[in-house]
Amino acid sequence: MIQPFRATSRIRSTVRILAVVSLAAFLGNVSPGGASAAAATSGSPSAFAVLAGTAVTCTDSRITGDVGVWPGNTAARTGCTISGAVHVADAAAEAAFLEFASTYADLRDNPPRCSATLTGTLSGEALLPGIYCVDAVAKTGALVLDAQGNANATWLFLVDGALTATNLNVVMINGGTPCNVTWWVRAAATLTDSHFAGTILAGAASTVTRGTLSGDLFATTAVTVTGATITGCPEAAPGGRHGGHMHGKCNQGVGNGEEGCDPGDSDHHHDSNDERGGGPGHPGRKQGGR
């Protein structure tokens, strides 16, 4: 199971550091040497609700959470209320952006297997937790995410192109929370008059015009918010981003098959029943501790 992206997750491998270097070089933002050094020393960024690579422009809007820009240095506000701190080209914004860039590149280059492929506007869809491939057709209407009573239920949407939503209402039912929903977007994200749920990881400039976003908005270039309300995910809420990871705990019982998880050091006898020495689809320690 893929956990939602958390801004404070740690970059845990050389592969991810190289992904940061590759993406940053592609964007023309930082040199390879600077990217790898920053990634290797990144700490725990603050609770960013909005994070952009070049600029943030906020007009007549309200943002709950921190706002950051790196490596750009523009954060323009007109009639904009921000409950958290504003980080412009500082160490916190840099660490958070490199974390985001790493996760974005990882999902781009190593996407998990989708539970299903969704086409069309998504209007009238009712989706259980899972990983979904989504086309770039403009979205509208009502999309229901049903947690079936599981407060830890997660959804990951991989949007192959731009995410364009107009009058789209994403509704969480039966225990679901927007902070457990992630939208990876290959291109831009444009929300207009929508009530959207989930954290957006966008590969281009992103815009929220009127409406609401319950979740975080991260973009590789610019973010523009006009007449909208963005409520970021709380840093230390149960199941929230603080200390979380993109990959979830494994539940790799014998014969369970692939789960798309990262076993890490989950051969402990608590918080996971992943077998000792196992990996996705390849269990190690047998049931009963043998």
The torsion of the CA quartet 36, 30, 232, 199, rounded to 10 degrees, works out to -80
Question: What's the per-residue H, E or C state across 36-85?
Answer: HHHHHHCCCCCCEEEEECCEEEEECCEEECEEEECCCCEEEEECCEECCC
Which amino acid, 34? Answer: G
pLDDT at 235: 60
Cα separation of 163 and 207, whole Å?
A: 10
Which amino acid, 283? Answer: P
Token pair in block for residue 213: 């976003």
Cβ–Cβ < 8 Å for 181, 165? no
Q: How far is CA 162 from CA 209, 246, 253, in A?
A: 16, 22, 38
pLDDT at 234: 84
Question: What's the per-residue H, E or C state across 104-131?
Answer: HHHHHHCCCCCCEEECCCCCCCEECCEE
pLDDT in tens, the chain (290 residues): 445 555 434 323 322 333 333 333 334 333 222 332 222 222 234 589 999 999 999 999 999 999 999 999 999 999 999 999 999 999 999 999 999 999 999 999 999 999 999 999 999 999 999 999 999 999 999 999 999 999 999 999 999 999 999 999 999 999 999 999 999 999 999 999 999 999 999 999 999 999 999 999 999 999 999 999 999 998 634 333 433 333 333 344 433 333 334 333 333 333 333 433 444 444 443 334 43
Cβ–Cβ < 8 Å for 74, 56? yes
Cα separation of 218 and 177, whole Å?
A: 18
pTM of the predicted model as reported, rounded to 2 decimal places: 0.71
Q: What is the DSSP string of the chain?
A: -BPPP-TTPPP-SHHHHHHHHHHHHHHT-S-HHHHHHHHHH------EEEEESSEEEEES-EEESEEEESS--EEEEES-EESS-EEESSHHHHHHHHHHHHHHHHHHHSPPPPSEEE-TT-TT-EE-SEEEEE-SSPEEEEEEEE-TT-TT--EEEEESS-EEEEEEEEEEETT--GGGEEEEESS-EEEES-EEESEEEESS-EEEESSEEES-EEESSEEEEES-EEEPPPTTSTTSSTT--SBPPP---TT--------TTTTSSSS--PPTT-BTTB--SPGGG-
Token pair in block for residue 227: 């007449």
The torsion of the CA quartet 10, 147, 195, 198, rounded to 10 degrees, works out to 10
Cα separation of 42 and 194, whole Å?
A: 34
